[in-house]
Amino acid sequence: MQNMTQIMANLKGASYASLFLIGRAEKWIEIYLSTLIHQDPAYLLNNWASFESQLFTLIGDPNEVGKAEAEVDSLRMKESGHVLLYSADFRSLV
């Protein structure tokens, strides 16, 4: 069980992060925050991992493009490799 200091740190982190959401994520947090009038906010905002997981489920990985670019940049054809293998590896990334 989390201690009160950890709970407060998680609550502050998730609350602060929610201020910067836009688009679908902003709509999601608005709906969520509107339910706080009638419910205890602890079930989401006191747990950073839960907040992050639900946010990623909603909008996906925020660094998806960066990761894809890094994968393409790191793709190399081996010296003794065949162009068809390289092409297959490339196509699996796009």
The pLDDT tens digits along the chain (94 residues) read 556 676 666 667 777 888 888 888 888 888 777 766 566 655 556 677 777 787 788 777 778 888 888 888 888 887 777 888 888 888 887 7
- Quote the domain boundaries for residue 27: 4-62
List the structure tokens of 9.
Answer: 């740190």
Domain match, 38 and 58 both: yes
- C-alpha distances (whole Å) from 56 to each of 2, 31, 81, 89 are 23, 17, 37, 27
Domain match, 72 and 52 both: no
Domain match, 40 and 21 both: yes
Rounded Cα distance between 11 and 18, Å, is 11
Domain match, 10 and 55 both: yes
Per-residue pLDDT tens over the stretch 49-66: 777 787 788 777 778 888
Q: What's the domain count of the chain?
A: 2
- C-alpha distances (whole Å) from 23 to each of 7, 48, 65, 71 are 28, 21, 18, 27
